[in-house]
Structure formats: C-alpha cells, structure tokens
Structure 1
Amino acid sequence: MKILFAHCRYQQTGGEDRAVEAEMAALREAGHDVSLLERDNEAISTIWDKAKTAWSLPGTDALRAELRAEIAEHAPDILHAHNIFPLITASLYDAARDLGVPVVQTLHNYRNICASALLMRDGRICEDCVGANPYQAVLHRCYRNSTLGSFALARMIAHHRDKGTWSQSVDRFIALSEFSKSRFVAAGFPADRIIVKPNSPGALFTAKPEPQERSGALYVGRLSQEKGIAALLRLWKRDWPPLSVVGEGPDAPVLDEAVRDGRAVALGPLEPEAIAGEMRRAALCIIPSRCYENFPMVLGEAFASGLPVLASNIGALGELVQEDRTGAQFDPFNPDSITGTIDAAFADPDRLARWGATARDHYEKHLTTAETTTQQTLIYRSLTGDGATA
C-alpha cells in the first residue's frame, strides 16, 4: 500500500515523534510504501507566526489547497494523521476528502477535546469540557496560562464539534487504550469509528534482553508538572538507590537539587539506543504521571526490556499496568502511596524479576512490531475496499 503519514514535529522530541518514526519503519519493513507530510513546530518563532497560527487553528481554505497539492503529489491509498496541531490542522481532512483518500487519525492526546490536551487543570485531573462548553478553558487559561491561547484552542474545539468534523471527515480513529477511547466517546466522537491499537516500542526492543544483574530505578520522560517527576524526586529517599532520570523540561531545577544530594542521576535527553541500554540495566521503571496518559512509549519499551513498571493508578496506566503481574500501581497524589509502593518494590528483588518476566511475555503477545503492524494494516485495508475488516 501507499501510505502517507502527516505529522507536526514537536519543538521538544517526545513519545509521539518516536511513535511516528517507529510506525513508519515497521510499515516499510512490512513492504509498504510510506512517505511523510511533515511540519516542524520550530517554525513558529515570532509573535506574527503565533498570531497567524492561532487564527488558522480551525483550518483555512488556503491551507486546504496547499495540503491537497501535497497529498496529490504522493497519491496515497491511505492518509494517516498523527499530530496535526498547530501547523497542519483539520484542513488536512478536507484536502484528503477532496481527493477521495481515506483518513485515519491516531489520538495521541486529548487536544481535540481539551485546550490543555491533558484533561488536567491546576495540577489535577479535569474533565469539565468533555462533552460540554470548551470556552470554560478561557476562564481558567488552560493553554499555557494564556487567555488568548486558550481562546484559540476553545474556538478550534467548538468549530469542529459544531461542524461535525469527527463524525464526517475522519474514517477511522486509533485510540491507544480503552480508557482513551472512553474519553473521546464521552466527548461525542463516534464509538464505531474508534479502534484501540497500542503503540509498539519498535525494532530496537525486539530481541529478548540478555540475563544480567539489574539495579536501581529509571524515569524516562519530560520533566514537567503533568508527568509527576518533581513530586517523585521530592519524595525520593536517601536509602533508595539513586533514581536515573532521562529527559529534560521545566522541572529540571528539582532534578538538579536531587542530583546534588545524591538521590538522583541526571542522564539528560538520550537517543533511543541509549534508552534501551538503560532499560536493560534498571530493576524497575517508574511512570508517576498526574495526567491521563494514553499509551506512553516508555511503557511498551519497559515491557519489551523485561522491566517492571510502577505507575500511577489513573487513566490508561491503571488499565495497562497489571497489579502484581507486570508491576504495581500507586496514587500519584498521595505521598504515602508512592513511597509505600516503591519501598515494597525495592524490598523484594525476586518479585521484581517475576514482574519483569511477565512484562516481557505481555510484550511478546500483544506489543510486538509484527502484531501492531498487522492490526494497523487491517485498519487501512478496511477502508480501501478489499474486504478486510477492522
């Protein structure tokens, strides 16, 4: 098949960018012709750039024509959209429909129903706008504490809800977990068009890890409030092994303090190969998110590495990490729950090893590149008239 991916690259590379790269590589390995329609959010630099981008968020006729020409040049059988915010926009769907190209959209985050994209406000879960008036976001300045930015996002959400974009312009949605699907259905997305398919960690993690002595804990992700890393670092005990931290972000000063007193090791942003190496050495991985995750790449990477996961018990993480099988769960807003779970994990290395083995088994049954690529191909073929279903 000829498949065209569409993606706005983030200013700070994260899990969505890695997921797109992994999917493209897997589809090419399976024999498909895959190309990329890409924008880079680094292009938004001046005040004028920001104002123009904010005004264009619902989509424009000019952008529709520009995207139509790009799609026509590639002549794909399928258009698969990933992050289209803010430079591609839903004009992509209209351009594809003009050309008769079916559209698949992966729902990596909650941007289409929440101005913050996280279903989070003031450090807590918030679903006030789910299926309700999105302009509440303006009152609370949900997008980067900006009234104007929040208005632009609320306007975009309201426009596409009123226009019926989600029921008319996208042929299939891919949600990364059942929990994620439930939130979009609650917001009015058509349940019969949403297929649940998890992320796969990609080829780097295919081989079964060699047996070796493991030690310590690992965090991989953005250093920001919604990820819960600052709260975790403040609770990290001196008698625990230092927490190895991969990533960068605004909460870096909290990490620096933990490094100074020997409770953490800052590894900075690492390439995927180096992350894979850290996962094969660690005894456990911690995902302390305070927001609703969908299916973080780090989770699949940890499972593939035979690395058990301690995770927040909210959103999809509560669904994806099996208590006392692939790891353990804690309340990310309860310090005693966090420290108690970590204490119990470090106290029983044999149990950690069992969890890790079960995590690898789960990867081999459900998360391999072969398995997720087959699922993805079935979704595509269900839209191209060859009789397949998804």
Structure 2
Amino acid sequence: MKVLFAHCRYQHTGGEDRAVDAEMAALREAGHDVSLLERDNEAISTIWDKAKTAWSLPGTDALRTELRAEIAAHAPDILHAHNIFPLITASLYDAARDLGVPVVQTLHNYRNICASALLMRDGRICEDCVGASPYQAVLHRCYRNSTLGSFALARMIARHRDKGTWSQSVDRFIALSEFSKSRFVAAGFPSGRITVKPNSPGALFAARPEERERSGALYVGRLSPEKGIAPLLRLWKKDWPPLRVIGDGPDAPVLDEAVRDGRAVALGSLGSEAINDEMRRAAVCIIPSRCYENFPMVISEAFASSLPVLASNIGALGELVQEDRTGAHFDPFDPESMTRTIDAAFADPQRLRRWGAAAREHYEKHLTTAGTTAQQTAIYESLMIGDGARV
C-alpha cells in the first residue's frame, strides 16, 4: 500500500512524534510505501504567525487547495492523520475527500473536543465541554490562559461539530485505549468508526533486555503541570535513589532545585536509543500524570524494556497498568498515596523484577511492532475495499 502520513511536529518533541516515527518505520519494514506530509510548529514564531494560525484553525479554502495538491503528488491509497494542529487543520480531510482518498485519524489527545487538549482545568480533570458548548473554555481561558487563544480553539471545535466533520469526513478513528474511546463517544464521535489500537514502541525496543542489576527510578516526559512532575519532585525523599528525569518544559526550575540537593538527575531531552538504554537499567518507571493520558509511549517502551510502571490511577493509566502485575497505582493528587506506593516499590526489589517480567510478557502479547502493524494495515485494507467508509 501507499500510505501518506500527515503530522505537525511539536515544538518540544514528545511521545506523539515518537509514535509517528515508529509507525512509519514499522510500515516501511513491512514493505509498504510510506511518505510524510509534514509541518513543524517551530514555524509559528511571530505575533502575525500566531494570529494568522488562530484564524485559520477551522480550515480555509486556500489551505484545502494547497493540501490537495500535496496529497495528489503522493497519490496515496490511504491518508493517515496524526497531529494536524494547528498548521494542517481539518482542511486535510476535505482535500482528501476531493481526491477520493480514505482518511484515518489517530486520536492522540483530546484537542477535537477540548480547547486545552487535556480535559483538564485549574490542575484538575474537567469534562465540562464534553457533549456541551466548547465556548465554556473562553470563560476559563483553558488554552494557555489566553482568552483569544481559547476562543480560537472553541471556534474550531464548534465549527466542526456543527459541520459534522467527525461523522462525515473521517473514515476511521484510532483511539489508543478503551478509556480514550469512551470520552470521544461521550462527545458525539461515532462509536462504530473508532477502533482501539495501542502504541508500539517500535523495533528499537523489540529485543529482550539482558539480565542485569537494575536500580533507581526513571521519569520520561514533558516537564509540565499536567504531567505531575513538579509534585513528584517536591515529595521525592533524599533516602530514595535519585530520580532520573528525561525531558524538558516549563517545570524545569523544580527539577533544577531537586538536582541541586541530590534528589534528582536531569538528563534533558533524549532520543529513543538513549531512552532505551535508561529504561534497561532502571528498576521502575513513574508516570504521575494529573491529566487523562491516552496511551503514553513511555508505557509501551517501559513494558518492552521489562520495566514496571508506577502510575496515576486516573483515565487510561488505570487501564493500561495492571495493579500488582505490571506495576502499581497511586492518587496523583495525594502526596501520601504517592509516597506509600514508591516506598513499597523500593522496599521489594524482587516484586519489581516480577512486575518487570510481566510487563515484558504483556508487550510480547499485545504491543509488538508486528502485532500493532497488522492491526493498522487491517484498518487500511478494510477502508480500501469500502468497509466502514464514510457516506
């Protein structure tokens, strides 16, 4: 098959970018012709860029024409969209429809139903706009605490809800977990067009880790409020092994403070190979997110690395990490709950090894590149023969 991916790169590289790269590599390895229609959000630099981008969020005729020409040049059998915010927009769907190309959209976050993309407000879970007016986001300045930015996002969400974009212009959605699917269905997305397919970490993580002595804890992700890294660092004890932290973002000053007093090690932003190395030497991975995650790449990478996960017991994380099998849960809003869970993990290295073995077993059964690629190509093939396509 000829598959065209569409993706806007984030200004801070994260799990979505890694997922896109891993999927393209896997499809190519399976013998498919894969190309990329790409935009880079680093291009949004001036105030004029931001204003123009905000106005164009629902899509424009000019962008539809531009994207139609790009798609036609690749002549794909399938168009697979990932992050289309904010430079590609839903004009992509209209351009593909003009050319008769089936569209698959992976739902990496909640941008299509929530201005913040996180279903989160004021540091807490918020579903006020799910199935209701998205303009509530303007009142609460949900997008980067900006009234104008929140209005632009709310306008985009409302426009496509009224237009019927999700029921008419996308042939198949891929949700990354059952929990994620449930929130989109609650927001009005057609349940029958949503297939659940997890992220695979890609071929780099496929080899079974060598038996070795493991130690310490690892955090991989953006250093930002919704990820819960600052509260985790503030409660981190000096008698625990220093937390090794991969990533960057606005909460970096909290990490700097923890580094100064020896409670953490800052590793910065690393590529997949270095992440792989860190995961194969750590004893446990910690995901303290305060928002609804979909399927963080760090989970599939950790499981492939025989690395158990301590995670927040909210949203999909409660589904993806099996209690006392592949890891354990805590309440990310309760420091005592977090401390108890981490204390118990460090106190029983044998149990961590048992959880790690179960994590690898889960990877081999459900998250291998071969398995998830087969799921993906089955979706493509069903659309190419007209099964479940838009009407």
Would the TM-score normalized by the shorter structure come out above 0.5?
Answer: yes
The reply on whether 1:61 has 2:44 as its aligned counterpart is: no
Alignment of 1:237-248 (within 5 A): 237-248=237-248
CA contact (8 A) 1:300 1:363 kept: yes
Q: CA deviation at 1:387?
A: 7.3
For the structure 1 residues 371 and 135, does the alpha-carbon distance in structure 2 shift closer, same or farther, using more than 3 Å as the test? same
| TM-score, normalised with respect to structure 2 | 0.99
Residue pair 1:329, 1:341 contacting (<8 A) in 2 also: yes
Q: Deviations over 1:134-174 (max 9, x none)?
A: 00000000000000000000000000000000000000000
* Whole-Å separation in 2 of the counterparts to 1:243 and 1:230: 12
Find the residue that maps to 1:383 and give its secondary structure: helix
2:99 and 2:198 map into 1 onto residues whose CA distance is 29
Asked if residue 159 in structure 1 is aligned to residue 159 in structure 2, the reply is: yes
Q: Corresponding residue for 1:297?
A: 297
- Tell me the distance in 2 between the aligned counterparts of 1:113 and 1:81: 17
**1:271 offset after TM fit, Å?**
1.2
CA distance in structure 1 between the aligned counterparts of 2:115 and 2:388, rounded to whole angstroms: 36
**Greater mean alpha carbon deviation, residues 278-287 or residues 379-388:** 379-388
Q: How far apart are residue 265 of structure 1 and its match?
A: 0.6
2: distance between equivalents of 1:109 and 1:88? 16
Whether the aligned pair in 2 keeps the contact of 1:3 and 1:79 (CA below 8 Å) is yes
CA contact (8 A) 1:381 1:388 kept: no
1:84 is matched with: 84
Kept in 1: contact 2:83–2:108 (CA 8 A) = yes
Aligned equivalents of 2:40, 2:211: Cα separation in 1:
40
Q: Which amino acid aligns with 2:162?
A: D
Aligned partner letter, 1:14:
G
Alignment of 1:93-112 (within 5 A): 93-112=93-112
1:279-336 Cα offsets, whole Å, 9 max, x none, are: 0000000000000000000000000000000000000000000000000000000111
Determine the C-alpha separation between the residues in 2 that align with 1:296 and 1:315: 12
**Residue 76 of structure 2 aligns to a residue in which SS?**
coil
2:176 corresponds to: 176
Q: Secondary structure of the equivalent of 1:382?
A: helix
Q: For the residues of structure 1 that align with 2:388 and 2:381, how far apart are their CA atoms?
A: 6
Secondary structure, in 3 states, of the residue corresponding to 2:222? coil
Cα distance between partner residues in 1 of 2:329 and 2:125: 17
CA RMSD of aligned residues (A): 1.0
Query: Secondary structure in 1 aligned to 2:213?
Result: coil
The aligned counterpart of 1:320 is: 320
For 2:384 and 2:242, the matched residues in 1 are separated by 52
| CA distance in structure 2 between the aligned counterparts of 1:16 and 1:58, rounded to whole angstroms | 22
Tell me, yes or no, if the aligned pair for 2:103 and 2:170 is still in contact at 8 Å.
yes
1:228 counterpart residue number: 228
- In the TM superposition, what is the alpha-carbon distance from 1:196 to its structure 2 partner? 0.1
Gaps of 5+ in 2: none
Q: Is the 8 A contact 1:378 1:388 kept in 2?
A: no
The CA distance in 1 between the partners of 2:229 and 2:353, in whole Å, is: 24
1:241-287, Cα deviation, whole Å (9 max, x unpaired)? 11000010110110011111111111111111111000000000000
* Amino acid corresponding to residue 183 of structure 1 in structure 2: R
1:270 aligns with 2:242: no
CA distance in 1, matches of 2:75, 2:111: 28
1:324 & 1:374 partners in 2: Cα distance? 30
Q: Secondary structure at the match of 1:195?
A: strand
**What is the one-letter code of the residue matched to 2:80?**
H
- Report the residue type matching 1:342 in the other structure: I
Query: Which residue does 2:185 correspond to in 1?
Result: 185
Instruction: Name the amino acid aligned to 2:265.
Output: V
Q: Matches of 2:388 and 2:16 in 1, distance apart? A: 28
Corresponding residue of 1:28: 28
Match of 2:3 in 1: 3
Question: What secondary structure is seen at the aligned counterpart in 1 of 2:384?
Answer: coil
In 1, Cα distance between the equivalents of 2:67 and 2:255? 42
The CA distance in 1 between the partners of 2:377 and 2:197, in whole Å, is 11
Change in CA separation of 1:344 and 1:180 when aligned onto 2, cut-off 3 Å: same
State the partner residue of 1:72: 72
Tell me the distance in 1 between the aligned counterparts of 2:104 and 2:71: 14
Is contact 1:176-1:196 (8 Å) kept?
yes
Structure 1 stretches of at least 4 aligned residues deviating more than 6 Å after TM superposition: 386-389
Residue type of the partner of 2:41?
Answer: N
1:184, CA displacement in angstroms? 0.2
Q: Distance in 2 between matches of 1:334 and 1:105?
A: 36
**Secondary structure class of the residue paired with 1:115:** coil
- Partner amino acid, structure 2, of 1:128: D
Question: How many Å apart are 1:84 and its aligned residue?
Answer: 0.2
1:281 aligns with 2:281: yes
Q: 1-side partners of 2:339 and 2:215: how far apart?
A: 18
Query: In 1, are the aligned partners of 2:220 and 2:247 still within 8 Å (CA)?
Result: yes
| TM-score normalised by L of structure 1 | 0.99
Distance between the aligned counterparts of 1:177 and 1:273, measured in 2? 26
Quote the Cα distance in structure 2 between the aligned partners of 1:163 and 1:142. Answer: 23
Q: How many angstroms apart in 1 are the aligned matches of 2:124 and 2:201? A: 29
What CA deviation, in whole Å up to 9, does each residue of 1:215-263 have, x standing for no partner?
Answer: 0000000000000000000000111111000010110110011111111
| Pairwise CA distance, 1:388 | 11
Give the Cα separation in 2 of the matches to 1:388 and 1:195.
11
Contact 2:244 2:267 in 1 (8 A): yes
**Structure 1 gap ranges (5+):** none
Aligned to 1:334: 334
The answer as to whether partners of 2:171 and 2:388 remain within 8 angstroms in 1 is: no
CA distance in 2, matches of 1:206, 1:195: 24
**Distance between the aligned counterparts of 1:7 and 1:280, measured in 2?**
30
Tell me the secondary structure at the aligned position of residue 87 of structure 1: coil
Alignment of 1:114-129 (within 5 A): 114-129=114-129
2:336 corresponds to 1:353: no
